Amino acid sequence: MKEIINRKQAVSVLAMFLMGTNTVLGAGSNSRDTWLSILLGALFFAPVALVYMRITNLYPGKNLYDIILIVFGKITGKIMVAIFTLYAIHVGALVLREFTEFMHIAAMSGTPQVVFLILMLSLSAWMVKSGVEILGRFSKFILPIILAEIAITFIIALKDMDFSNLMPVGHSGFGSIASEAYSLFILPFSEAVIFLTLYRSVKTDQKRNSILVYGTGIAVVLMMIVIIRNIAVLGPENLKLLYFPTYTTVSVLSLGDFFTRMEILVAAVYLLCGLVKASVFLFAVSFGMSKLFNVENYKSMAFPAGLIMLTLASIIYSSISESVEFLEIFRYYATPFQVILPVIIWLGAEIKNFLNKINPKTPLDLSDL
């Protein structure tokens, strides 16, 4: 039985997936012009989003891996599927490590980090075993709670905000703003390529193009609210010194003597977004492994895929400072997977679609050309 999620559920999954680490880590370099970089990064993402939309529109009811195999055939197609699967394993492990670093440093420093890794991966594996429908329902239920938490903390923070911290606009210079925008274009916006592996579960009779538009739009608005709040409360210079700027910002907020320690709310939101993001990556890895090993039920790959990600996440860094350093080069590392390969897939799909229109009785495979 095919798993189905509706448009609202898909939008919720994508919005939480894109917010991911940005809900606590902040966005970009946390300079006074980061809010401009977020807008510019979203603008950079627009043409790439159109490519993603076109790929899925050419083959409704198929996910990214299905489309690759249809367009490029078994040999070339499986090589490309393997490349995307390895990318999903690597970035999924990075995501897991970031979330567990947060839990280890900010909340429970006495607990071994591997405990958090096992817990997060177990929940993600359970989500994959339960299916895409459960992920969709969970995200649709949780997203309004996240919206409310961000809105409430922003309102409470108003009395502590100094909006002069955001002035003068453009102080960082266009080069710096554009560089930060490109980083945000890659992380998190273009990570949406991984979300395309869930597209076969989206109802084909709904406005599928609006999923990327609304999902990205929600993420952009929430990231803007979070970064403006953080900068106005603590100032850009202070934020640059922090590993978890949002957590620290909210920790200084209070509503009289009654409502304090609101950083607990941020930690909860962070973990919920982290669970969705880690689950989407695990779905992508499970789908990819099922294609590579010709396994019909992708759910049977959940725990093997999870163990691979768990092992990699536990050894990938020796400290959080190394992860921060890697983020500086991530935009160069991820560009081929998130931009170049999708463009190649799109061009291949357009060519195959054109050739099949010319000779519909004998569908052509690009691997035969």
pLDDT reported for residue 368: 45
pLDDT reported for residue 130: 94
The answer to whether residue 362 scores a pLDDT higher than 90 is no
pLDDT digits (tens, 9 = 90+) for 42-81: 999 999 999 999 999 999 889 999 999 999 999 999 999 9
pLDDT digits (tens, 9 = 90+) for 181-190: 999 999 899 9
- 328: number of Cβ within 10 Å: 10
Tokens 């009395």, located at residue: 159
pTM of the predicted model over 0.75: yes
pLDDT reported for residue 122: 93
| Helix, coil or strand: residue 202 | strand
Q: What is the mean pLDDT of residues 343-361?
A: 87
Verify cis geometry, omega within 30 degrees of 0, for the bond prior to 47. no
The answer to whether residue 364 scores a pLDDT higher than 60 is no
Domain spanning 7-368, CATH architecture: Orthogonal Bundle (1.10)
Q: Predicted confidence band at 361 (pLDDT cuts at 50, 70, 90)?
A: low
Domain boundaries, the chain: 7-368
Q: Predicted confidence band at 28 (pLDDT cuts at 50, 70, 90)?
A: low
pLDDT reported for residue 290: 96
Q: Are 64 and 197 in contact (CB under 8 A)?
A: yes
The answer to whether residue 367 scores a pLDDT higher than 60 is no
Q: 83 vs 169, which has greater pLDDT? A: 83
The answer to whether residue 363 scores a pLDDT higher than 60 is no
Q: Predicted confidence band at 221 (pLDDT cuts at 50, 70, 90)?
A: very high
How far apart are alpha carbons 188 and 177 in whole angstroms? Answer: 16
Longest pairwise C-alpha distance within the chain: 75
pLDDT reported for residue 86: 97
For 191, phi then psi, to 5°, come to: -65, -10
Q: What is the mean pLDDT of residues 213-220?
A: 95
The answer to whether residue 253 scores a pLDDT higher than 50 is yes
| Helix, coil or strand: residue 259 | strand
Q: 268 vs 342, which has greater pLDDT? A: 342
pLDDT reported for residue 241: 79
- Helices (DSSP H) in the chain: which residue ranges? 7-19, 22-25, 34-58, 64-102, 113-130, 132-157, 174-186, 192-195, 209-234, 236-239, 245-251, 263-292, 302-315, 320-335, 341-358
What proportion of the chain, given as a percentage, has pLDDT over 70? 92
How far apart are alpha carbons 231 and 226 in whole angstroms? Answer: 9
Tokens of 29: 């370099």
Q: What is the mean pLDDT of residues 199-213?
A: 84
